Amino acid sequence: MKLTREFLKKIGLPSGDLHELPDSSKTFSDGTKYRFEVPGIQGPLAMKALLETLAEKGLPIHRVTQTKGIMLLLDKEIEQMVGLAKDHSVELVLAIGPRATYDTSASVQTPEGQRMGYRLRGQEQIVRAIEEVKRAITLGCHSFLIYDEGCLWILNEMRKQGEIPAQCRFKVSAHCGHGNPCSGKMLESIGADSLNPVRDIQLPMLAALRAAIDIPIDIHTENPASSGGFIRHYEVPEMIRVAAPVYLKTGGSVAKNHSWDTSEAEARQRAKQVALVKRVIDQYYVDPIQ
């Protein structure tokens, strides 16, 4: 393995997982090390309940992510969510619509087909996905959750050539199934602005991923039962230390499965999960910068 490890180092990649867990010296552009993201907020009513509850608790978050798809939102709903994001100074991330689970193929519903994640089948689905992005842009949203690497590549090409605004940002979903430095480097090179690795990625793996890329890493601090149901709150201080800058994806354990249609009451429960993670950070991480 020695020659393989030496080659990885030669091209600027870690030679293996970093079990020594080195500190990350990287930050967000404003010097901060971590931010909070609450996923699974599928519409304006849940978003309003979440943000108002967080404001009452004095807890700032930085991202709200919708995961069911732009195609399932009315124009009015998108405009309301964009307005709430502006009012509360948060980034709104909308999921790109047509995806495998909405396609006419049954493959993704089978045990073998589930390996495809939410990736797109055929060029028509790419065209439709691009149309979803264009529609959301006209309504004021510029951040998007992407489930397909080819879709990421073409949207980045459009961004570079001025077909869509330069301020558009692309977040790669954990449903793509990436969890190593080489994959991270490739995604960064084709336009990813942040990367959500597999949900159970361990600290030495996170440290190696951070060594390879500069974009923020989005890390699940907890999960719905459908993807394991594990809660990693006590690992969060170390996640920040070794992988900064990170978005802490919090509140997922409230949902029974991914793309759960979060109610207003459940949105308030997600706000409570943010408070629980923040308590662990405040107690066990001596030098956090949020």
- Token match 């967000």: residue? 28
At 139-196, the pLDDT tens digits run 999 999 999 999 999 999 999 999 999 999 999 999 999 999 999 999 999 999 999 9
Percent of the chain with pLDDT over 70: 96
CA distances from residue 7 to 22, 183, 243 in whole angstroms, order as listed: 21, 16, 23
Measured CA to CA, the distance from residue 139 to residue 141 in angstroms comes to: 6
Average pLDDT over residues 191-213: 97
Q: Residue 289 half-sphere exposure, CB side, CA atoms within 13 Å?
A: 12
Residue 104 has which token pair? Answer: 């006419």
Across 186-215, b (16+ Cβ under 10 Å) vs e yields ebbebbbbbbbbbbebebbbbbbbbbbbeb
Measured CA to CA, the distance from residue 58 to residue 12 in angstroms comes to: 42
Segments making up each domain of the chain, as ranges: 20-284
pLDDT of 268 higher than 70: yes
Measured CA to CA, the distance from residue 277 to residue 236 in angstroms comes to: 8
Measured CA to CA, the distance from residue 218 to residue 243 in angstroms comes to: 10
Fold classified for 20-284: TIM Barrel (3.20.20)
Residue 108 has which token pair? Answer: 């993704």
pLDDT of 238 higher than 90: yes
Average predicted confidence (pLDDT) for the chain = 93
Residues 6+ apart with CB under 8 A from 71: 97, 98, 102, 132
pLDDT of 289 higher than 80: no
Radius of gyration of the chain (CA): 18
Cβ-in-10-Å burial (0-12, 13-18, 19+) of 285 comes to middle
